[in-house]
Amino acid sequence: MRIPYLKRALTAVAVATTLIAGSVSAQAGPSGTGGAKPTVVLVHGAFADASGFDGTIALLQRAGFPTIAPANPLRDTAADAAYISSVLDTITGPVILAAHSYGGVVITNAARGHANVKALVYLGAFAPDQGESALQLATSVPGSLLGPALIARPWTLPDGSQGTDGYVDPAKFRQVFAADLPESKTRLMAATQRPGNFDGLSGLSGVPAWKSIPSWYLIPTEDKVIPPAVQRSMAERAGSHTREISSSHVVMISHPAAATATILAAYAATR
């Protein structure tokens, strides 16, 4: 279902104040037994790294939520999901699993078999069905600028076979990835981007965890990587609680308050 997202101008300070106030009452579980807060696991996508969640992490930590943002290997869909699944194996207690971009493919697969994952949160992320890939979904309707902006760099695997990494052309990075961030910041992001292996970006997803785990979806309406129409379609079939905000693809960087609010909505509904 779609929930109108009217507070575009939420500031991080205002949200942090709300979170802190709410965290006191949230310390108790549904029956007032003092249940622990869930660990929030944040999974980044390609052409980025975990530092993209810095603003969101700061707000979550200030509100008392244990938070971890592991490095997504960005090598292969199945292997990336297996790695994040192994991280989940080390966490006791409830988990809220959130992701950005290709990270959505990873959590859709990694969450399977983890009964402690209480919610999936997609922040401008892919929520594929079985047999779909990130590249297939991104190009399924017009609107994505990613394809023409990719630079391919071959590399040699230990067994002598060849893989191919994709980078976003630095000259096009801001327009494609983060048009609402200052150019001084996007220059740094372009220089430090982690490439996505084409085997991962084109890898087929398995049975989606969103079929059995409730999901929340924040759609950036100015996204030039994953067309908003595709995100709306994915959110609708997953039965996600959906919000929209005027933002570029990197919604968790340009709007950390909105990203945090979406995670907190998942927490409030599943605790």
pLDDT digits (tens, 9 = 90+) for 113-132: 999 999 999 999 999 999 99
3-state secondary structure of 147: helix
Say how far apart CA 153 and CA 171 lie, in whole Å: 16
What does the pLDDT read at residue 18? Answer: 57
Q: What is the pLDDT of residues 195-233, one digit of tens each?
A: 999 988 999 999 999 999 999 999 999 999 999 999 999
Which residues, including other chains, have CB under 8 Å from residue 241's CB and lie 6 or more apart?
A: 1, 3, 214, 215, 216, 217, 265, 266, 269
Residues 12-140+204-270: name the CATH superfamily.
Alpha/Beta hydrolase fold, catalytic domain (3.40.50.1820)
For the chain, what are the domain ranges?
Answer: 12-140+204-270
Residue 99 has pLDDT above 60, yes or no: yes
* Average pLDDT of the chain, as a whole number: 90
With 70 as the cut, is the pLDDT of residue 17 above it?
Answer: no
